[in-house]
Amino acid sequence: MRHIISVQLENESGALSRVSGLFSARGFNIESLTVATTNDPTMSRMTIVSIGDDNIIEQIIKQLNKLIDVVSVTDLTATEHIERELLLVKISLKNDSQAEVDRVLDGFDAKIIDASEEAYTIELAGKSQKINDFIEAFDADKILEVSRTGVTGVCQKI
Amino acid sequence: MKLNGAQILVDCLKSEGVKHIFGYPGGAVLHIYDALDACTTMDHILVRHEQGAVHAADGYARTSGKCGVALVTSGPGLTNAVTGIATAFTDSIPMVVISGQVPSAVIGSDAFQEVDAVGITRSCVKHNFLVKNADDLAQTVKKAFYIATTGRPGPVLIDVTKDATIAEIDYEGYPETISMRSYQPEVQVNADQVAKAIDIIASARQPIIYSGGGSVIGNASEALTALTRRTGFPITQTLMGLGAYPATDKQSLGMLGMHGTYESNMAMHGSDCVIAIGARFDDRITGNLEKFCPDAKIIHIDIDPSSVGKVVGVDVSVIGQVNDVLRALIKGLENKELPNIDAWWQQINQWREVDSLAYKTKSGVIKPQTAVEALYEVTQGDAIVTSDVGQHQMWAAQYYPFDKPRRWINSGGLGTMGFGLPAAMGAKLAEPELDVACITGDGSIQMMLQELSTMLQFHTPVKIINLNNGYLGMVRQWQEFFYDKRYSMSYMDALPDFVKLAESYGHIGIRVEKEEDLKPALIEAFKQKDRTVFIDIITDPTENVFPMIPSGAGHHEMLLAGRDEMASTNDSGLNLV
Ligand SMILES: Cc1ncc(C[n+]2csc(CCOP(=O)(O)OP(=O)(O)O)c2C)c(N)n1
Ligand SMILES: [Mg+2]
């Protein structure tokens, strides 16, 4: 199953490689990993999406907790949570395809953040599934470049 | 007080109560060595190879229970230390390793003797630090010792840039306390989990206690003995756990696992309640997991939550210091009546009659088992025994029953050849009054031989028992059994004359070729209280370690010496190697 694991850790140099090193050394899978500092500049939050059975996820959480720099680990998927991912994508407007592209955009809550004769740069935030659907709504040859941030998330409970 | 970083570092170590540092100098640590020169409360042991420094610090830590300390220079100094660090990490040994680093201004420029020490060691330390600023030194050293010695212990590396050792700053003294929001090793034992464990224990008919290295490292020997006596249960111990419970006691079944006793492994297989204490279900212990303890409820007691459920699913886990948990169990059992397990003991005694450690002697050759038994007799079972890795290690574990913890010092987890000799040196420094014997092999001893020189300079008299079979015996054994006797690169021609070698290092060398000379030679060697003696014992080159669970087999599928032909195992078994 797919799990979203949220990790609070000391904002120390090397903390990221401790986490990524742990995943590769123990053969755990990483679908995506995002990290940035929080409002407390000494603390970072990392969001990891991993796929594994319950035993593997339990080991991942225990091993993360064992890292000295890690302050807390939460399996977001075990509770009510909100997840979002940000997509930046360049879509070609060549061959008079603008009308068709606009039609697709209408169906999603996407924003054009840069436009030229040849292409749009589009921003879309949402669950990973929505981002996948959006990308799939275009012909492959229309997509010039895709950049996704990977998932970040928070617990819904206060 | 104005001090430079190196002086601060030395003061920190002094304040931690460090008495012995094992190390080797080089450019990046010269300021530290300069500061050490002025220090009178700590002895520095100048090894001959950095791996030796770390193994010696490790042997010192295992013997004394204190934190070992090693000091190495940048680049090759650090890379030489890595094997030692990994060895300590795998066996959860408390240790602080300080490495020099190039000046912070040139980090990342491929400077002379620069390696990414923090990166290289990341996966084999409990934690590591890079210190680029003298102001951070005291706090970091305090954290390093705290992390290394609490919770599940382990090695911590402090990589210090040269400029941080040179900079002069105002030093306010070594911090008295430390608290880290991200590291809280104290655990309260969960009473509900203890109660659940007691329920299982109180209904067990075929119980067994399976105790590991955690009982030694966690200083839980007394509590373990009390619990075992209170319950009347049989106890088996892992290679790492030997000595926590007295091996000569009647409730002890000996070691379990690949080369464990028949009664230990059969009792594990037949058990309905396994109490795992400070043990981690290593593959050398469990054999084939699909056949592991088929009928048992498993209780797992460990300081490290990630050990629980990692290899084997358990019924009840109790997280905490082994000592605390065992005390809680003993308390919880106070007014409990336990079922009669006489029938179980009868069964176990039948397995004991198989006498799985019996071996045949042959006239004209010395059996390695006989040599270990002779050592046991001559030292009256009271020596500290370190070992290297191979057949001799297994024979040491099998034929030298340990009655006290911290007397058996070996690299169980990583299986590092070369560990034994420097570890013996560290052990002797930790316990100068006790006899220290290093049981080694002709292969292993050559991996850290140079430390003979250190041992003369720093006067650490130990007795080296070289079970010289002329082979990388453990490799030869596997090739005999599993590779159709194709002995590819396991025979070492051109061995040195170990007697002359020992003499050239300033020690005493004795060669023993006849069984009748064995005991007199050992007695003579141990009489030499203040000399290191190298006893080169020529043993049967073809002897194999029995009993044995071939890989892929279960605990109940042991092969016994002289009774079972070694059937070749299946491929899935060999994959386990
Ligand atoms: C550093 C290292 N290299 C290789 C091995 C693999 N290995 C395990 S036992 C062994 C043979 C050891 O030979 P010796 O020290 O003579 O002991 P014996 O088995 O003959 O008693 C080898 C090569 C190891 N454990 N450690
Ligand atoms: Mg040998």
Per residue in B251-309, pLDDT (tens digit) is: 999 999 999 999 999 999 999 999 999 999 999 999 999 999 999 999 999 999 999 99
- Residue A52's domain is classified under what CATH number? 3.30.70.260
Q: What is the pTM of this model?
A: 0.96
Residue to substitute from B182, B281, B310, B312, interface A, most A β-carbons within 10 A: B182
Give me the mean pLDDT over the B84-88 stretch: 98
Cβ of A68 within 8 Å of Cβ of B309? The answer is no
Query: What is d(CA B434, CA B436) in angstroms, rounded to the nearest whole number?
Result: 6
Short-list B55, B53, B47, CA closest to B387: B55
Query: What is d(CA A10, CA A7) in angstroms, rounded to the nearest whole number?
Result: 10
Closest-CA residue, ligand 1 atom 3, reads B417
**Do A39 and A72 fall into the same domain?**
yes
Cβ of A21 within 8 Å of Cβ of B122? The answer is yes
**Domain boundaries, position B314:** 191-353
**R_g over Cα of chain B:** 24
In a domain, B362, yes or no: no
Name the residue with tokens 């193994």. B55
- Residue B331's domain is classified under what CATH number? 3.40.50.1220
**Do B342 and B474 fall into the same domain?**
no
Cβ of B310 within 8 Å of Cβ of A71? The answer is no
**Domain boundaries, position A134:** 82-155
Name the residue with tokens 């300033």. B506
**Do A70 and A129 fall into the same domain?**
no
Cα(B117) to ligand 1 centroid in Å equals 28
Looking at residue B576, what is its pLDDT? 41
- Residue A90's domain is classified under what CATH number? 3.30.70.1150
Residue to substitute from A7, A8, A66, interface B, most B β-carbons within 10 A: A66
Looking at residue B562, what is its pLDDT? 80
Please give the DSSP secondary-structure letter assigned to residue B234: -
Centre a 10 Å sphere on the Cβ of residue A50 and count the other Cβ atoms it contains.
Answer: 21
Rounded to a whole number of angstroms, the distance from the CA of B126 to the nearest CA of chain A is 8
Query: What is d(CA B548, CA B560) in angstroms, rounded to the nearest whole number?
Result: 7
Give A68's contacts in chain B (Cβ within 8 Å): 126-127, 147, 180, 182-183
Catalytic residues of B: 50, 112-113, 162, 474
**Do A98 and A122 fall into the same domain?**
yes
Closest-CA residue, ligand 1 atom 23, reads B472
**Do B316 and B413 fall into the same domain?**
no
Q: How far is CA B193 from CA B5, B186, B201, B275, B298, in A?
A: 48, 17, 12, 13, 13
Cβ of A18 within 8 Å of Cβ of B122? The answer is yes
Per residue in B205-250, pLDDT (tens digit) is: 999 999 999 999 999 999 999 999 999 999 999 999 999 999 999 9
**Do B375 and B344 fall into the same domain?**
no
**Do B338 and B372 fall into the same domain?**
no
**Do A107 and A142 fall into the same domain?**
yes
The yes-or-no verdict on residue B568 having pLDDT over 50 is no
Task: Give the amino acid at B491.
Answer: Y
Give me the mean pLDDT over the B41-58 stretch: 98
Looking at residue B406, what is its pLDDT? 98
User: Quick check: B119 contacting A, CB < 8 Å?
Assistant: yes
Q: Which residues pair with A89 in a beta bridge?
A: A122, A146
User: Quick check: B488 contacting A, CB < 8 Å?
Assistant: no
Grade residue B564 by pLDDT with cuts at 50, 70 and 90.
low
In a domain, B70, yes or no: yes
φ/ψ (deg, to 5) at B255: -75, 155
ipTM value for the complex? 0.93
Give me the mean pLDDT over the B532-556 stretch: 95
Looking at residue B577, what is its pLDDT? 37
Per residue in B399-441, pLDDT (tens digit) is: 999 999 999 999 999 999 999 999 999 999 999 999 999 999 9
The yes-or-no verdict on residue B571 having pLDDT over 50 is no
**Do A60 and A34 fall into the same domain?**
yes
Grade residue B27 by pLDDT with cuts at 50, 70 and 90.
very high
Rounded to a whole number of angstroms, the distance from the CA of B306 to the nearest CA of chain A is 5
**Do A103 and A132 fall into the same domain?**
yes
**Do B305 and B399 fall into the same domain?**
no
Looking at residue B570, what is its pLDDT? 43
- What tokens appear for B67 in the block? 């934190």
Residue to substitute from A16, A68, A72, A73, interface B, most B β-carbons within 10 A: A68
In a 3-state reduction of DSSP, which class is residue B300?
strand
Cβ of A18 within 8 Å of Cβ of B306? The answer is no
Helix axes B368-378, B515-527, angle to 10 degrees: 40
**Do A89 and A127 fall into the same domain?**
yes
**Do A101 and A86 fall into the same domain?**
yes
In a domain, B237, yes or no: yes
**Do B43 and B125 fall into the same domain?**
yes
In a domain, B186, yes or no: no
**Do B343 and B404 fall into the same domain?**
no
Per residue in A29-59, pLDDT (tens digit) is: 999 999 999 999 999 999 999 999 999 999 9
Cα(B256) to ligand 1 centroid in Å equals 21
Name the residue with tokens 């900079």. B167
**Do A124 and A137 fall into the same domain?**
yes
The yes-or-no verdict on residue B566 having pLDDT over 60 is no
**Do A28 and A65 fall into the same domain?**
yes
- Residue B164's domain is classified under what CATH number? 3.40.50.970
In a domain, B448, yes or no: yes
In a domain, B487, yes or no: yes
The yes-or-no verdict on residue B574 having pLDDT over 80 is no
Lining residues, ligand 1, CB within 6 Å? B 388-392, 415-417, 441-444, 467, 469, 471-475
Please give the DSSP secondary-structure letter assigned to residue B329: H
**Do B409 and B349 fall into the same domain?**
no
In a domain, B552, yes or no: no
Q: Which atom of ligand 1 is nearest to the CA of B442?
A: 16
- What tokens appear for B556 in the block? 């109940």
Pocket probe for ligand 1: among B87, B414, B417, B446, the residue whose CB has the most ligand atoms within 8 Å is B417
Short-list B380, B422, B373, B419, CA closest to B396: B373
**Do B165 and B214 fall into the same domain?**
no
**Do A66 and A51 fall into the same domain?**
yes
Q: Which of A52, A78, A104 is the last residue of a domain?
A: A78
- What's the mean per-residue pLDDT of chain B? 96
Cβ of A58 within 8 Å of Cβ of B181? The answer is no
Total domain count, chain B: 3
Which phi-psi region, left, alpha or beta, contains residue B95 (left: φ > 0; alpha: ψ -120 to 50)?
beta
Short-list B326, B322, B351, B72, CA closest to B219: B322
**Do B268 and B161 fall into the same domain?**
no
B551-554's contacts with Cβ under 8 Å and 24+ in sequence apart are B551/B258, B551/B287, B551/B288, B551/B575, B551/B576, B551/B577, B552/B288, B552/B576, B553/B287, B553/B288, B553/B291, B554/B269, B554/B287, B554/B288, B554/B290, B554/B291, B554/B292
Give B123's contacts in chain A (Cβ within 8 Å): 21, 25
Q: Which of B297, B321, B353 is the last residue of a domain?
A: B353
Looking at residue A55, what is its pLDDT? 94
In a 3-state reduction of DSSP, which class is residue B345?
helix
Cα angle B505-B507-B512, degrees, rounded to a multiple of 5: 115
Total domain count, chain A: 2
**Do A74 and A92 fall into the same domain?**
no
Cβ of B180 within 8 Å of Cβ of A13? The answer is no
In a domain, B289, yes or no: yes
**Do B330 and B391 fall into the same domain?**
no
Query: What is d(CA B495, CA B261) in angstroms, rounded to the nearest whole number?
Result: 33
Q: Which of A43, A78, A113 is the last residue of a domain?
A: A78
Q: Which of A21, A45, A78 is the last residue of a domain?
A: A78
Interface A–B counts its CB contacts (< 8 A) at: 37
Pocket probe for ligand 1: among B51, B389, B495, the residue whose CB has the most ligand atoms within 8 Å is B389
**Do B210 and B302 fall into the same domain?**
yes
Q: Could you say which of A13, A62, A70 has the minimum Cβ distance to residue B305?
A: A62
The tens place of each residue's pLDDT in chain A, 158 residues long, gives 999 999 999 999 899 999 999 999 999 999 999 999 999 999 999 999 999 999 999 999 999 999 999 999 999 999 999 999 999 999 999 988 899 899 999 889 899 999 999 999 999 999 999 999 999 999 999 999 999 999 999 999 87
